[in-house]
Amino acid sequence: MVKFTKTLTSVAAIAAISALALTGCGRSDSGSGSSSSGAAGFDKSSLIGVALPQKTSENWVQAEGLFNDGLKNAGFKGEVQFANGGVTEQQNQISSMITNGAKVIIVGAVDGGQLGTQVKQAKDAGATIIAYDRDLTKTSDVDYYVAYNNFKVGELQGQALLAGMKAKKPNGPYNIEVFAGSNDDANSKPFFDGAMSVLKPKIDDGTVKIVSGQSTQNAAATAGWLAENARKRMDTLLAGSYSTATLDGVLSPNDTLARAIIGSVKAAGKPIPVITGQDSEVDSVKSIMAGEQYSTINKDTSNLVTAAIQMVKDLQEGKTPTTNEKDNNGSKEVPTQYLEPVIVTKANAAEAYKNNPTLEALTK
C-alpha cells in the first residue's frame, strides 16, 4: 500500500469529520480508468459470476440479494456464490464460473492474495475481473476495483474515537486498546493504517496510551473477523491490563466486533468505553441510539453493488467503466471507483440514514 500523505492530528466536530476529503491508501490521482477488457462488448444474456467470501457480516448477506436482483433486472444471468468453506472453496467456485463461460467475474475475496491462479485463468479465457470491496493482490490480472475508500474509513474511525473520548473527558489522557480485522483480508491493513495515522501522533505525545502495548496490526488482528475471537481477546485484555486502570476507548474495525467487545466489557462489570465500528449493522445502530457503541461507518451496500453492476453494463456495451482513482495492489495500478464513507454517531444518525427506511426508523 502507498503511504497516506496527510495525517490528521486534530479532532474536528463530527459534522466536519464526515465531510473530510482525504487521499486514500494506495491511490494516485487519475481520470477515468482504461482497460482493453470488454472493449468489444458481449451478449446481454451472458453469465456474470459473483464470488463472495463468508457470511461474516450483514453487508455480505445483503450483497447477495442485491446482486441477484440487480443482475437479473439488467438482463444478465447472475451466479452468486459464497465461499463459506474458505479460500479453496472460492478458488473452485471461480474456476467453475470460468468453465461456465462467465464474461465478467466480480470477486469479493476471502483472501485477495491467494486467487492469482484463478484470475489469470479467467483473463486467459477472456473474462473481465472486477475486485469488489476487497483488493485482489499479488496479481496483475485484475481489471477494475470498486470499493469504499478503506484508508479513509480507518481515518474516520480514529477521528471518531478521539472525538468520543474528548466529549467524555475533555482533558485526557486516554487509555485505549486497538483491534484489527483478519489478516487474510486485504482491507484490514488500510483500515488499521488509516486509524493509526490519526492515533499515532496522540500516542507519541502521551495523550493516548495503549495500556496492553499491543499496537501492531498483527497483535491486534481478529482471525476470520469472528466475534468470538474479539470477545476472547477483550476478556484477556481486561483481565491483564485493566484491573485498576480505566479503559477509555476501543478502536474496533467493524460493528460485529464492536458488539462483541461491548459484551466483554459488560460481562466484566466495567463502564462501556468509546467504541468505533463500521457497516451500519442494525444491531449496532440500535446500540448507538442506546448510547453504547459510539460510532459506525455508513458504507451503503446497495450503492456499492449498483456501482459494480454499472461496470458490468458498461463492459457489456463495449464501454470503459468510469473510475475516479487508481489503486496500487502491489502488482498493478488498478483503475478504481472509490465511494465515500460517512461517519455516523447518535448526533447525525437520522440525517445519515434518511434514505434508508429501515435504519432511519431506528433513529426516531
HSE-up of 21 (CA within 13 Å, CB side)?
A: 0
Does residue 8 lie in a domain region? no
Residue 334 is part of a domain; what is its CATH number?
Answer: 3.40.50.2300
Let me know whether 144 and 167 are in one domain: no
Tens digits of residue pLDDT in 238-287: 999 999 999 999 999 999 999 999 999 999 999 999 999 999 999 999 99
Nearest to 250 by CA among 199, 201, 205: 199
Residues 177 and 251 sit within 8 Å (Cβ to Cβ): yes
The pLDDT score that the predictor gives to residue 23 is 34
Does residue 2 lie in a domain region? no
Let me know whether 201 and 251 are in one domain: yes
Residues 352 and 358 sit within 8 Å (Cβ to Cβ): no
**Which grid coordinates belong to 292?**
453504547
Does residue 355 lie in a domain region? yes
Let me know whether 288 and 307 are in one domain: no
Let me know whether 69 and 113 are in one domain: yes
Does residue 211 lie in a domain region? yes
| Bond preceding residue 190 cis, omega within 30 of 0 | no
Let me know whether 194 and 294 are in one domain: yes
Let me know whether 244 and 327 are in one domain: no
Does residue 4 lie in a domain region? no
Residues 313 and 179 sit within 8 Å (Cβ to Cβ): no
Number of H helices and number of E strands within the chain? 13, 14
Let me know whether 124 and 40 are in one domain: yes
Let me know whether 249 and 334 are in one domain: no
Q: What is the DSSP letter of 223?
A: G
Does residue 180 lie in a domain region? yes
Tens digits of residue pLDDT in 46-102: 999 999 998 888 889 999 999 999 999 999 999 999 999 899 999 999 999 999 999
Tens digits of pLDDT across the chain (364 residues): 333 333 333 333 333 334 333 333 333 333 343 344 444 699 999 999 999 998 888 889 999 999 999 999 999 999 999 999 899 999 999 999 999 999 999 999 999 999 999 999 999 999 999 999 999 999 999 999 999 999 999 999 999 999 999 999 999 999 999 999 999 998 999 999 999 999 999 999 999 999 999 999 999 999 999 999 999 999 999 999 999 999 999 999 999 999 999 999 999 999 999 999 999 999 999 999 999 999 999 998 999 999 999 999 999 999 999 999 999 999 999 999 999 999 999 999 999 999 889 999 999 9
The pLDDT score that the predictor gives to residue 26 is 38
Let me know whether 184 and 292 are in one domain: yes
Please give the tally of structural domains in the chain.
Answer: 2
Does residue 7 lie in a domain region? no
The pLDDT score that the predictor gives to residue 59 is 87
The pLDDT score that the predictor gives to residue 31 is 39
**Residue 76 structural domain:** 27-148+300-339
Let me know whether 175 and 270 are in one domain: yes
Let me know whether 182 and 228 are in one domain: yes
Annotate 56-84 with DSSP letters as a single string.
-SHHHHHHHHHHHHHHHHTT-EEEEEE-T
Does residue 320 lie in a domain region? yes
Let me know whether 33 and 115 are in one domain: yes
Residues 61 and 55 sit within 8 Å (Cβ to Cβ): yes
